[in-house]
Amino acid sequence: MEQRRDTFIDNASAALKNLKQAERRDIIASFAPQIRAAAIDSFEGFGDLRSHVKKIRQHSLDNLDYYLSQFEKEAVHNGNQVHFARDGEELNSVVLDICQQHDARRVAKGKSIVTEETGLNSFLQSAGLSVMETDVGEYIVQQAGEKPSHIVTPVLHKSADEIRELFQEKHDLGPRDLHNTSDLVVEACNVLREHFLQAEVGIIGANALIAENGYCMLVTNEGNGDLCANLPKVLIVCTTIDRVLPRAEDATAMSRLLARSATGQPQSCYTSFYSGPRREGELDGPLETHFVLLDNERSNTLASNYREILECIRCGACLNHCPIYTSVGGHAYDSVYPGPMGSVLTPLLTSLEQSHLLPNACTSCGLCEEVCPADIPLPDLLRDLRHDESTKKLSAPRWRYGLKLHSWLARHPSTYQALTAISIGILYRLGRKRGGFSKLPFGSGWTSQREFPAPQEGTFMKLYKAEIKQNNGR
């Protein structure tokens, strides 16, 4: 992943001031949980399926070496070429080599978060290739020169009006005004169709690699994955090593959780399985197919205390339900992976030094864990990352020492109670008239947003001990 600087708080501040986008985020924060809840409430077996898939994912990761070898063997048997890439640079070079071997000039891409992770588009473009995103959302983001703000719905941050303005600027529309939202979709489809037909190489991602038959599974709602996979003469599937599952039925079990959790659909519009190149006598399909399987810190994560994050199925439910993600939007995270899953993954893929604020973007409210179809204890993983942050002394010293002091005092009850009785007494006298404080030394974080409520007269312990004394004296 590209080098990054931890600018979360500044980005979030800017995002909160963009009221138009904030309004859109509020709508989505209401809408997305509703459609998910409706889909899951009407599907009785969700809980059981979740436990079932969790076991499979754990088993696959426990035996990742075995299933990856099996997948490789089967995929090669089907006529594919399988490449392993240690990091993003390696993946990008492998893909460029393949393109250059075929003298390709044009690449059509289906939605692939992994190639966003590796920065493949800019790499290929700097080598002179034209790369066209074909998922409508990704296409819009690409045309706008932006990055996706969500792992499932990349253009969540843009309104129809903004997209219309973008097309008016970038497309030769003639007299068409793209009045209706559906006009926008048709416009994008027409532009994209040409690219599908012209591209020499198609690149897609994969939601699962199936070890038993060497196939991969891809779910989309637009069918663009199928066009990328079948029209160009060369197909490259880019995904990560942790996507492997033992059997085809495991992949379909997962897809039933995925669509409901992501978009509230029982199944995505397209669930496609790709086996390999066109066989003799077949009329269509690519002539050559490649799998490029990226590690980029997954092996290290597998060996760490954070391995459960590898069970993520990329549904985006934790984003849609996280009150912090829905408050500030995906761009604030400055990572391909925003929201709770991203706040775990980004520090692991880059470094905690570059990303230690992200695990702090969490109130431990637990909603992400509750809705996660992979049952990942996201709040625990985020807290463990804050533990690493604290151990590595990356957090602000005033917090670290402040909390150490508090804990020390709390372990010395007599001192604690004497000191708190004095400070609370002072606060009470200063604040009793108004009931609260607008400003407090060392409390600007709190008072920048809210009053600091004044305490009642005396700590409980002081009052209670006085009561005991009085009773005993009686």
Partner 1 sequence: MNEQYHDHSHPAQRMRVSLFVTCLADLFRPSVAFASIKLLEQADCEVTVPLQQTCCGQPAYSSGDYDATVPLAQQVIGLLEAADYVVVPSGSCAGMICHHYPKILQGEWRDRALKLAAKTFELTAFLNDIAHIEPQHKKPSSTLSVTYHDSCAGLREMHIKEQPRQLLRQLCGIEVNELEKSEVCCGFGGTFCAKMPEISGKMVNDKLDNALATGAKVLTGGDLGCLLNIAGRAQRQGEEIEVRHIAELLSGDLDTPPIGEGP
Residue 448 binding partner 1, by CB under 8 A:
yes
Site string for partner 1, 307-326 (x = CB under 8 A): ----------------xx--
Contact stretch for partner 1 (CB under 8 A) within 63-71, 161-169, 335-343, 456-464: 456-464
Distance (Å, whole) CA 424 – CA 466: 16
**In angstroms, what CA-CA distances link 410 with 38, 402, 413, 460?**
46, 12, 6, 15
Q: Cβ closer to partner 1: 66 or 464?
A: 464
Residue 425 binding partner 1, by CB under 8 A:
no
Distance (Å, whole) CA 66 – CA 304: 19
350-369: which residues touch partner 1 (CB under 8 A)?
360-367, 369
Residue 182 binding partner 1, by CB under 8 A:
no
Structure tokens at 183: 């006009």
Contact stretch for partner 1 (CB under 8 A) within 84-92, 161-169, 244-252, 387-395: 387-395
Q: How far is the CB of 266 from partner 1 (least distance, A)?
A: 25
71-90: which residues touch partner 1 (CB under 8 A)?
none
Contact stretch for partner 1 (CB under 8 A) within 50-58, 91-99, 207-215, 393-401: 393-401
Q: How far is the CB of 167 from partner 1 (least distance, A)?
A: 32
Question: Among 43, 270, 273, 452, which residue sits at the site for partner 1 (rule: CB under 8 A)?
Answer: 452
Other CB atoms within 10 A of residue 367 CB: 18
Beta strands in 60-198 (DSSP E): 81-85, 106-109, 130-133
Q: How far is the CB of 393 from partner 1 (least distance, A)?
A: 11
3-state helix, strand, coil in the chain (%, to 5): 55, 10, 35
Q: Can you say how many angstroms the Cα of residue 317 is from the centroid of all Cα atoms in its chain?
A: 9
Longest dimension (CA), the chain: 103
Q: Cβ closer to partner 1: 3 or 448?
A: 448
Q: How far is the CB of 362 from partner 1 (least distance, A)?
A: 7
Site string for partner 1, 268-307 (x = CB under 8 A): ----------------------------------------
The SS3 of residue 265 is coil
Structure tokens at 380: 């625990």
Residue 332 half-sphere exposure toward CB, CA atoms < 13 A: 27
Residue 378 binding partner 1, by CB under 8 A:
no
Q: Cβ closer to partner 1: 266 or 443?
A: 443
The SS3 of residue 55 is helix
Paired residues of 271 in beta bridges: 219
Q: Cβ closer to partner 1: 197 or 466?
A: 466
Q: Cβ closer to partner 1: 66 or 401?
A: 401
Q: Cβ closer to partner 1: 92 or 459?
A: 459
Distance (Å, whole) CA 83 – CA 238: 10
Closest-CA residue to 142 (of 172, 114, 163): 163
Site string for partner 1, 24-63 (x = CB under 8 A): --x---x---------------------------------
Q: Can you say how many angstroms the Cα of residue 32 is from the centroid of all Cα atoms in its chain?
A: 15
Q: How far is the CB of 387 from partner 1 (least distance, A)?
A: 4
Distance (Å, whole) CA 183 – CA 171: 13
Distance (Å, whole) CA 133 – CA 108: 6
Distance (Å, whole) CA 9 – CA 7: 6
Question: Among 328, 336, 345, 374, which residue sits at the site for partner 1 (rule: CB under 8 A)?
Answer: 328
Residue 389 binding partner 1, by CB under 8 A:
yes
Q: How far is the CB of 30 from partner 1 (least distance, A)?
A: 8
Q: How far is the CB of 373 from partner 1 (least distance, A)?
A: 17
399-418: which residues touch partner 1 (CB under 8 A)?
399-400, 403-404, 406-411, 413, 416-417
Q: Cβ closer to partner 1: 178 or 381?
A: 381
Distance (Å, whole) CA 122 – CA 113: 14
Q: How far is the CB of 140 from partner 1 (least distance, A)?
A: 26
Distance (Å, whole) CA 179 – CA 47: 43
Residue 327 binding partner 1, by CB under 8 A:
yes
Q: Which helix (H) or strand (E) holds 238?
A: strand 234-240
Residue 451 binding partner 1, by CB under 8 A:
yes
Other CB atoms within 10 A of residue 114 CB: 24
Contact stretch for partner 1 (CB under 8 A) within 63-71, 72-80, 117-125, 395-403: 395-403
# residues contacting partner 1 (CB under 8 A) = 75
What single-letter DSSP state applies at residue 245?
A: E
**For residues 145 and 155, is the Cβ–Cβ distance under 8 A?**
no
222-251: which residues touch partner 1 (CB under 8 A)?
none
Q: How far is the CB of 303 from partner 1 (least distance, A)?
A: 21
Q: Cβ closer to partner 1: 125 or 456?
A: 456
Q: Kindly compute the dihedral angle of the four CA atoms of residues 240, 246, 249, 250, in this order, to the nearest 10 degrees.
A: -60
Site string for partner 1, 4-23 (x = CB under 8 A): -----x--xx--x-----x-
Distance (Å, whole) CA 131 – CA 123: 10
Structure tokens at 310: 């590898």
